[in-house]
Every structure is written in C-alpha cells, then in structure tokens.
Amino acid sequence: MLFTISQRFFFDAAHTLRREIEAEGSRRIHGHTYHAEVFLSGSRDAATGMVLDLGFLRQALAEVRERLDHHMLDEVPDLGTPTLENLCLFIAHALPEPLREQLTRVRVWREALGDACELDCRSPGART
C-alpha cells in the first residue's frame, strides 16, 4: 500500500513582480501571507507504522520557512523571480535529499487572493 502524508506551513513575505497586467501595484514592494503544503508518499514502515516521522518533516520545513518568512523574496538566494511556481520549486529543492526522494507534490497559495500553484514532483523535469 502507498500512503501520502502532508505538512503545511505559512510565511509572510514581501516582493515585487514585473507583470503585463496589474503591473503598477505589482512593481511596488508589497506583501502576502503565503501558505505551503508538501506531500510525501511511501510505504508504511512495519516497525513504526509511519511513512515518515512527521517530526522530521516539520523540522525541515521550519528551516525552509526561516529562509522565506519576513524576507524580501526578490533577495532570497536560489529563488529567482518570486512567483508561486518558483516558490514551489524552491521549497522542493530546499528539502533534504531523504525527504525529496518521497516528495510527490508541493502546493503554494495565497488564501486572501485565491491564487495557488501546485508542483507535481513525479512529472518529468520536476526534480531539476
């Protein structure tokens, strides 16, 4: 059997963004509360009954959150343009290798705006 576990976190951050529509407000420094959720899939370990001890995932995500929370996203190393898509990739790549091997999905959204992006880590090119 294959199980999927997930863990959510949030962060507040500012950024700018060059866009073709809603351009003026996006070019000014502005901020959002972002929510993120990561999904890991695997078999249940017979000894522990768990796919993974969620404490390890929470610990890894706390480190990712520290790199994003209350930061200017334009200045975060290895993020690139601060889009929802790039945030999904950043979070996926920031996880330690043992967790990345089981990573199946990363979702980032802004609840207040209704915007979301989801990265399917099983798709070709998702792990690059």
* CATH number for the domain harbouring residue 24: 3.30.479.10
Given a cut of 90, whether residue 25 has pLDDT beyond it is no
Residue 124 has a pLDDT of 66
Say how many domains are in the chain: 1
* 59-85 CB burial, b ≥16 within 10 A, e <16: ebbeebbeebeebebeebeebeebbbe
Task: Kindly state whether residue 116 falls inside one of the protein's structural domains.
Answer: yes
Tokens of 76: 């975060």
Task: Kindly state whether residue 17 falls inside one of the protein's structural domains.
Answer: yes
Task: Kindly state whether residue 12 falls inside one of the protein's structural domains.
Answer: yes
Residue 88 banded pLDDT, cuts 50, 70, 90: very high
Q: What's the domain range around 18?
A: 3-120
- What whole-number distance in Å separates Cα of residue 79 and Cα of residue 72? 11
Task: Kindly state whether residue 125 falls inside one of the protein's structural domains.
Answer: no
The pLDDT > 90 percentage for the chain reads: 82
Alpha-carbon Rg for the chain in angstroms: 16
Provide mean pLDDT across the span 8-26: 84
Given a cut of 60, whether residue 62 has pLDDT beyond it is yes
Given a cut of 60, whether residue 2 has pLDDT beyond it is yes
Residue 125 banded pLDDT, cuts 50, 70, 90: low
- Please name the amino acid found at residue 58: R
Given a cut of 90, whether residue 80 has pLDDT beyond it is yes
Q: Are 17 and 32 in contact (CB under 8 A)?
A: no
Task: Kindly state whether residue 63 falls inside one of the protein's structural domains.
Answer: yes
Task: Kindly state whether residue 69 falls inside one of the protein's structural domains.
Answer: yes
Q: Collapsing DSSP states into helix, strand and coil, what is residue 97?
A: helix
State the CB neighbour count (10 A cutoff) for residue 5.
17
Task: Kindly state whether residue 31 falls inside one of the protein's structural domains.
Answer: yes
Task: Kindly state whether residue 75 falls inside one of the protein's structural domains.
Answer: yes
